[in-house]
Amino acid sequence: MNQENFPTYDNIGFQNEEGRPPPYSPQHGLYPAIPRATPSYILATPNPINTHQSTAPAVPQDTAKNKEIKRCHWNRILCASVCFILVLAVLAILLWYFLYHQCALGKSCTYSGECLRKSQWCDGVKDCSNGEDESLCFRLYGGNFILESFSSRSQSWMPVCADQWDDNYGKTVCEQMGYNRENYVSSSQMSNGYSALKGFMKLMPGSDHKSLVHSQLSYSQSCETSSIGLRCMDCGESFAPFRSRIVGGSEALNGAWPWQVSLQIFGRRHLCGGSIISPYWIVSAAHCFQQYSRPWMWTVQSGDVSLSKMRFKQGNKVKKIISHEDYDPETNNNDIALLKLKTPLTFSETVKPVCLPNMGMEFSAGQPAWITGWGALRTSGRSPDVLHQAEVTIYSREICNKRAILNGAVTESMVCAGELNGGVDSCQGDSGGPLVVRKADVWWLAGDTSWGIECALKNKPGVYGNVTHFLDWIFWQMQIE
């Protein structure tokens, strides 16, 4: 947390002291222009007659012209053939690009590249070699955790009807989404509201909760009971009071931010922060692991606001580090990573997950949010022993991308938050830590601390990974690991 204007950067893994260029540069044409071949014409000149020397008989003029005509004819054929072959090559490349890379006739498997018809997604048959087409077929919607299933028939997301539903189906669906069955909370019946106009996905007679649940759902215009609210895990609960307004930052109390963890290198030095989303999974920033990329180097400490007290705990070893495959260290685009632990965290009042945002939730401009971390209290200054907290404001991407602020560097994979007047910001050592928003008495993970220009400068708010943007990626990684 930072409240002073000193020149440094808020990110321990990436520094930007000269400002940031726009994240993308314009592309030039894909194909260079093909130069036209200029045919060469050879003029036949008859030899002069020399009566004093014996010479070969002169070639008749009409015969030379015939040879020249034939030569020009073959030149034209060769030129036309080359042009034809080049045109065919260009058409072949374009056809491949649109049919396979762009998958114009349907939807492509993200990781294996197969091109499927849209109706093949979530139809109960695994067509992608890795099963991706049947993996992201459920989602939770809105602050009430309404369960929705993707309909291959209508190509849309629809609420699931509670008819014939029980907790066994709820546990199976949570497991298919990437959660553990033992963390399951409950299924509840929700008011239909808007969903009554869309229709429902309803369990077919004879369904079995041990199989893929979405393959046993069919469209129904009506639902005798109501739609389902599904809680796969208790999350987003704080067990200690937090102050309603903090200028600059202050020390946090134990239990106020129970999802905050310290990521320590070789079990000794705090390097980055992270957020608990399940007993096995931590969300952090990809740039934290560019230099120290081996899982065995890292230890996750949790359960206290004091770093010195946590040093006496064993901590949790990291089994795997999954940085986003499209992370760009030049622009910090897609700056998110997941850590899978070797052993699960034991939840308590001081160790608790934060909620991943559900689809349909918007963290709008002007909304207050909170940042926490053990980062430096001033630019290039000391880091505190006790976790610090600060309230910030979320700004729109349009505001942050103004020339005088962050000059177009904030992409769709980022959230911009801070105070345009300066004085409140993340700083060195806060990287990977949470940006959280409170809605409906629940704390939601809106972002992971990514980058900034120095710390707490005027018109230089901090930038965070946009967790909502990465939901499919997060749930996919949780399912396959």
Tokens of 65: 């012209």
Tokens of 98: 């649109």
Closest to 352 in 3D by CA, of 453, 442, 471: 442
Q: What percent of the chain has pLDDT over 90?
A: 59
CB 435 within 8 A of CB 370: yes
Q: Active-site residue 430, yes or no?
A: no
Res 138 pLDDT > 80: yes
Q: Active-site residue 188, yes or no?
A: no
* Burial of 125: CB neighbours in 10 Å, binned 0-12, 13-18, 19+: exposed
Band of the pLDDT at 27, cuts 50, 70, 90? very low
Superfamily for 121-231?
A: SRCR-like domain (3.10.250.10)
Secondary structure element (H or E) that encloses residue 66, with its range: helix 61-96
Q: Which amino acid is at 4?
A: E
- Where does residue 264 fall: left (phi above 0), alpha (psi -120 to 50 degrees), or beta otherwise? beta
Closest to 247 in 3D by CA, of 390, 138, 382: 390
Q: Which of 123, 133, 335, 430 is catalytic?
A: 335
Measured in residues, the chain has a length of 481
Res 32 pLDDT > 80: no
Res 141 pLDDT > 50: yes
**Cα–Cα distance, 479 to 398 (Å, whole number):** 35
Lowest mean pLDDT among 26-40, 87-101, 280-294: 26-40
Mean pLDDT of 235-262: 80
CB 214 within 8 A of CB 136: no
Residue 344 phi, psi (nearest 5): -70, 150
Return the pLDDT at 91: 76
Q: What percent of the chain has pLDDT over 70?
A: 79
Closest to 203 in 3D by CA, of 186, 185, 227: 227
Q: What are residue 227's DSSP bridge partners?
A: 161, 190
Is pTM, for the whole model, over 0.95? no
- Mean pLDDT, the chain, as a whole number? 83
- Where does residue 120 fall: left (phi above 0), alpha (psi -120 to 50 degrees), or beta otherwise? alpha
Mean pLDDT of 157-173: 95
Band of the pLDDT at 440, cuts 50, 70, 90? confident
Res 326 pLDDT > 90: yes
Band of the pLDDT at 143, cuts 50, 70, 90? very high
Q: Which of 287, 324, 430, 450 is catalytic?
A: 287
Mean pLDDT of 230-256: 79
Report the 3 state secondary structure along 202-216. EECCCCCCCCCHHHH
Res 402 pLDDT > 60: yes
Quick: pLDDT tens for 336-388: 999 999 999 999 999 999 999 999 998 989 999 999 999 988 777 788 999 99
CB 301 within 8 A of CB 317: no
Quick: pLDDT tens for 61-120: 556 556 566 666 667 777 777 888 888 887 776 655 554 555 665 788 876 778 888 888
Q: What is the DSSP string of 232-264?
A: SS--S--SS---S--SS-EEPPTTSSTTEEEEE
CB 148 within 8 A of CB 140: yes
Inter-CA distances, 230 with 84, 130, 233, 237, Å = 60, 26, 9, 17
Band of the pLDDT at 307, cuts 50, 70, 90? very high
Residues in Cβ contact with 304 at an 8 Å cutoff, skipping those fewer than 6 apart: 254, 310, 313, 350
Return the pLDDT at 31: 29
Res 244 pLDDT > 90: no
Return the pLDDT at 63: 60
Return the DSSP state at 333.
B
Task: Tell me which of 281 and 481 has the higher pLDDT.
Answer: 281
Q: Active-site residue 73, yes or no?
A: no
Mean pLDDT of 395-402: 97
User: Hunting for tokens 């060195």 — which residue is that?
Assistant: 428
* Burial of 44: CB neighbours in 10 Å, binned 0-12, 13-18, 19+: exposed
Res 182 pLDDT > 90: yes
Mean pLDDT of 40-69: 44
Provide the pairing of β-strand 186-190 with 146-151: unpaired
Band of the pLDDT at 269, cuts 50, 70, 90? very high
CB 322 within 8 A of CB 296: no
Band of the pLDDT at 459, cuts 50, 70, 90? very high
**Cα–Cα distance, 380 to 419 (Å, whole number):** 20
Mean pLDDT of 449-473: 96
User: Hunting for tokens 């014996």 — which residue is that?
Assistant: 54
Mean pLDDT of 386-406: 96
Res 19 pLDDT > 70: no
Return the pLDDT at 68: 62
Task: Tell me which of 63 and 420 has the higher pLDDT.
Answer: 420
Res 324 pLDDT > 90: yes
Return the pLDDT at 79: 77
Q: Which of 226, 431, 448, 450 is catalytic?
A: 431
Res 173 pLDDT > 60: yes
Res 37 pLDDT > 60: no
Res 34 pLDDT > 60: no
Band of the pLDDT at 243, cuts 50, 70, 90? low
Res 57 pLDDT > 50: no
